[in-house]
């Protein structure tokens, strides 16, 4: 029959009843094969941890190759860096605490409509300071003299449309003159009474009166505007705003 070998890692199985002089060599080879399994560069093997059994690496290291780990038949594809984020996170809140700093990097704004607690306490990470206190927020606009620089401020809560009216005065108008005719020399009256008369040789001339009638009108508009601080504020709603600074 001869010697045989195990099916997984080919450990030699000496033939029963064969020469005992060769058993020592064969067993030494078998032990070396088994020992190699426990080396990082040794023989690759599959390990089946049965139900109710535990694979405990104690304080050692278990190295897994790419695609070498599966749960319930599904291969785990996460990288070591991605899995390290979960280190020590045994609850949903712990997992959130690991993810939130990525969602809120330095410079981010956090809004809350009811709780004014500093996010360093409320969320459990980062350094935060109140942002834009008492100011409305406008988005950045490239090239704008008002909104073209991040962090620029402006405006005033006391800019009001004061109650006022305008006076109206027109320019001078209505200056004019009249033209009339007048007699310059006498003439002869001809004809009989009762039969009609006519004036012959009557001389006249045309001239203008002097200019007169120039005048102006004065008026005032209706009163407009409201004399009250903040009278021109846009509709607004107040919330807590924090900026992450570190």
Instruction: Tell me the C-alpha distance between 35 and 41, whole Å.
Output: 11
Say how many C-beta atoms besides its own lie within 10 A of residue 23's C-beta: 13
What's the Cα-to-Cα distance from 199 to each of 101, 182, 194, rounded to whole Å? 118, 15, 15
197 touches 191 (CB < 8 A): yes
pLDDT of 85 reads 67
| Bridge partner residues of 228 (DSSP) | none
Phi then psi for residue 80, to 5 deg, are: -60, -40
pLDDT of 188 reads 60
pLDDT of 9 reads 73
pTM over the 0.75 mark:
no
3-state SS of the chain is CCCEECCCCCCEECCCCCCHHHHHHHHHHHHHHHHHCCCCCCCCCCCCCCCCCCCCCCCCCCCCCCCCCEECCEECCCCHHHHHCCCCCCCHHHHHHHHHHHHCCCCCEEEECCCCCCHHHHCCCCCEEECCCCCCCCCCCCCCCCCCCCCCCCCCCCCCCCCECCEEECCCECCECCEEEEEEECCEEECCCCCCCEEECCEEEEEECCCECCECCEEECCCECCCCCCCCCCCCCCCEEEEECC
pLDDT of 109 reads 97
Render the burial of 128-166: b for 16+ CB within 10 Å, e for the rest. beebeeeeeeeeeeeeeeeeeeeeeeeeeeeebeeeeee
Instruction: Tell me the C-alpha distance between 205 and 166, whole Å.
Output: 51
pLDDT by residue for the chain (246 residues), tens digit each?
678 888 777 777 777 777 666 777 878 888 887 877 777 676 777 777 777 777 776 666 666 666 567 777 788 777 777 777 666 666 667 777 778 899 999 999 999 999 999 999 999 999 999 999 999 999 999 999 999 999 999 887 776 666 677 777 767 677 777 787 776 766 565 556 555 555 566 677 788 778 777 777 777 777 766 666 556 678 889 999 999 999
């Amino acid at each position: 029959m001869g010697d045989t070998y195990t099916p997984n890692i080919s450990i030699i199985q000496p033939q029963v009843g064969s020469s005992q002089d060769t058993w020592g060599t064969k067993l030494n080879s078998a032990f070396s094969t088994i020992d190699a399994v426990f080396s990082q560069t040794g023989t690759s093997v599959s390990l089946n941890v049965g139900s109710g059994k535990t694979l405990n690496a104690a304080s050692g290291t278990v190295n897994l190759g790419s695609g070498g780990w599966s749960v319930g038949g599904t291969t785990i594809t996460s990288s070591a860096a991605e899995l390290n984020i979960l280190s020590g996170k045994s609850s949903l809140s712990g997992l959130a605490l690991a993810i939130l700093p990525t969602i809120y990097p330095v410079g981010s704004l956090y809004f809350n409509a009811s709780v004014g607690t500093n996010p360093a306490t409320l969320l459990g990470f980062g350094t935060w300071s109140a942002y834009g206190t008492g100011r409305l927020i406008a988005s950045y606009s490239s090239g704008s003299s008002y909104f073209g620089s991040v962090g620029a401020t402006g405006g005033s809560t006391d800019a009001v449309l004061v109650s006022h009216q305008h006076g109206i005065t027109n320019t001078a108008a209505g200056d004019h003159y009249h033209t009339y005719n007048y007699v310059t020399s006498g003439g002869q009256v001809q004809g009989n009474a009762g039969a009609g008369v006519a004036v012959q040789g009557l001389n006249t001339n045309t001239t203008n009166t002097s200019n007169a009638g120039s005048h102006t009108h004065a008026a005032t508009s209706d009163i407009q505007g409201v004399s009250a601080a903040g009278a021109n504020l846009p509709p607004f709603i107040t919330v807590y705003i924090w900026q992450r600074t570190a």
